[in-house]
Amino acid sequence: MHCVRQAARPIGIGGAAAAWLLAAPAGAGPLDEPHLAVVPRTPEEAARVAAVSAPAAGFAAPERFEALPGGAATVRARRNADAFSQPSGNMSFARELDFKVGNGLFRKIWVSAPSSTGASDGLGPLYNARGCQNCHIKDGRGNAPDGPEDNAVSMFLRVSIPAGQAMAGIEDWIATAPDPVYGTQLQDFGTPGQKAEYRLDIAYEEIEVPLSGGEVAALRRPTYRAADLGYGPLHPEAMLSPRVAPQMIGLGLLEAVPAADILALADPEDADGDGISGRPNIVPSVEFGQPMLGRFGHKAGTPTVREQSAAAFAGDIGISTPLFPAPWGACTEAQAGCRDAPHGGDPAQGGLEVDAGGLDLVTFYSRNLAVPARRDEGAPEVLRGKALFHATGCASCHNPKFVTHRLADRPEQSFQLIWPYTDLLLHDMGEGLADHRPEGRATGTEWRTAPLWGIGLTEQVSGQAQFLHDGRARSLLEAVLWHGGEAQAARDSVVAMPRADRAALIRFLESL
């Protein structure tokens, strides 16, 4: 199901992924968008896009359309936990039925096979959760464990080993391979008769950060360990990286942003000298068999919502789909008993546990979870915070706005001015956030710029305010203070600014 996280496939460009890239169609590259039915912009439309995409001319008042971060797909901001669970505001009544059916699949609780409920069996045999909403709480972020006794299911560890060398003939790729026993993701549950792969052991060290005006902020530095390994030791060179499920809103809109507009923001050599050097992650597409621009996942490791959905079905829940048809999910060849366990493949569905129709419904649901409207965007403190956001350089990575492609078959996402506050590029975030685990072209210190829309509603939706890839930050200020690398200067500006300015900056973020 679409616990939106990459899963159950080779990472880096080892194995089949390398073959796809080396044998890709002539001319295939990051500007290719085979997942989109694009209607080219007219010269007049291109001029309108350039005008509306220009940086803010001032901060005395909100920009035009700023209150609608998802364009016409924006919905009214609810005051309850359903704020992230609404369909696109511009969706037709007829298409809303597909959204609701997809919602049912997204909320489904899967059971192990064989079962009397044949439409819901096929769980595992190894898994992290029994349903998508077990990870994405109310379609929002997951929760990280508070300590070793907290068995939160919204978090897991990725794992890989060095493949020995970068792939010859493909510039700038960092080759990694799955752990020979545990694959690319550690599962902490098993169906009856199957051993779980591990138990997540987490410990926190409290760190004090002095701020201007005599304030002191407290950060927590996590240490992760894969304990109680069920299938023997990890590879000696295994690299582990924690993941908390991200929020789901606006995914279809991000998928519809022109690749050319994203790549135009890249500056890998920092040619303009501003200290920001965003890079695209170009990843092998299982769906299309060619390299594509990565957009989803904490390191932009997946190119499309459909592939992300199918990968999470396989790795998080152990459910087979047309893109990942193995009935045993993430079980490796070294886990023979796991592969031999019963599965829920349905002959009427080509032996799959979720067929193409089911995958398309979950994909449609995931693409159309609407972005809530801004709150208080015209309040003086919010506008002051917005000015500081730009002055400190935050907008260099958290690019405020894009205009999506005009699309022939996706009216909800077609030609919308959106305000996601991300460039969807990789940035070096410094040693403090480093996981030291490459993924595709992403190094062990690089992360995709996280979208900020809806971030002020996190606690309302998920029950807790936790941020960053592993949920270590318990407030937006803590998240800012963990920034390093390319964001070090912006972070230091926040530390040094007057207390009232820090409050205004956070107030602006809370309004998004």
pLDDT confidence tier of residue 172, bands split at 50, 70 and 90: low
Angle formed at CA 109 by CA 108 and CA 111, multiple of 5 degrees: 130
Q: What is the spatial distance between Cα 342 and Cα 103, in angstroms, rounded to a whole number?
A: 27
Scored b (16 or more CB within 10 A) or e, 308-321 reads: bbbbbbbbbbbbbb
Q: What is the CA radius of gyration of the chain?
A: 22
Q: Is residue 277 a contact partner of residue 428, using CB atoms and an 8 Å limit?
A: yes
Domain assignment of residue 8, yes or no: no
Domain assignment of residue 129, yes or no: yes
Compute the average pLDDT of residues 337-366. Answer: 94
| Number of domains within the chain | 1
Enclosing domain of residue 217: 34-86+94-511
Domain assignment of residue 334, yes or no: yes
Q: Give the pLDDT confidence score for residue 148 in this predicted structure.
A: 66
Pair of tokens at residue 235: 């590879």
Lowest mean pLDDT across 134-148, 274-288, 436-450, 471-485: 134-148
Q: What is the spatial distance between Cα 278 and Cα 281, in angstroms, rounded to a whole number?
A: 10
Closest CA to 83 of 507, 467, 459: 459
Q: Give the pLDDT confidence score for residue 153 in this predicted structure.
A: 61
Whether 351 shows a pLDDT value over 50: the answer reads yes
Q: What is the spatial distance between Cα 186 and Cα 194, in angstroms, rounded to a whole number?
A: 14
Whether 4 shows a pLDDT value over 90: the answer reads no
Compute the average pLDDT of residues 58-73. Answer: 97
Domain assignment of residue 14, yes or no: no
Closest CA to 478 of 510, 449, 506, 448: 506
If phi > 0 it is left, if psi is from -120 to 50 it is alpha, else beta; for residue 300 that is left
Compute the average pLDDT of residues 38-55. Answer: 95
Domain assignment of residue 451, yes or no: yes
pLDDT confidence tier of residue 317, bands split at 50, 70 and 90: very high
Q: Is residue 35 a contact partner of residue 288, using CB atoms and an 8 Å limit?
A: yes
Handedness of CA 93, 94, 99, 102 (dihedral sign): positive
Pair of tokens at residue 444: 């062990």
Q: What is the DSSP string of 236-266?
A: TT-EEEEEEPPP-TTHHHHHTS-HHHHHTT-
Whether 110 shows a pLDDT value over 70: the answer reads yes
Helix, strand, coil: what percent of the chain each, to 5? 30, 15, 55
Compute the average pLDDT of residues 371-385. Answer: 98
3-state DSSP assignment of residue 411 = coil
Mean pLDDT, the chain, integer: 91
Q: What is the spatial distance between Cα 361 and Cα 185, in angstroms, rounded to a whole number?
A: 25
Whether 169 shows a pLDDT value over 60: the answer reads no
Closest CA to 123 of 30, 210, 187: 187
At 225, the amino acid letter reads: R
Whether 490 shows a pLDDT value over 60: the answer reads yes
Q: What is the spatial distance between Cα 200 and Cα 501, in angstroms, rounded to a whole number?
A: 39
| 3-state SS string for 66-78 | CCCCCHHHCECCC
Compute the average pLDDT of residues 405-430. Answer: 98
Closest CA to 212 of 508, 507, 500, 480: 500
Closest CA to 2 of 463, 361, 425, 464: 361
Angle formed at CA 484 by CA 482 and CA 488, multiple of 5 degrees: 115
pLDDT confidence tier of residue 163, bands split at 50, 70 and 90: confident
Q: Is residue 240 a contact partner of residue 226, using CB atoms and an 8 Å limit?
A: yes
If phi > 0 it is left, if psi is from -120 to 50 it is alpha, else beta; for residue 314 that is alpha
Q: What is the spatial distance between Cα 289 and Cα 286, in angstroms, rounded to a whole number?
A: 5
Whether 323 shows a pLDDT value over 60: the answer reads yes
Domain assignment of residue 9, yes or no: no
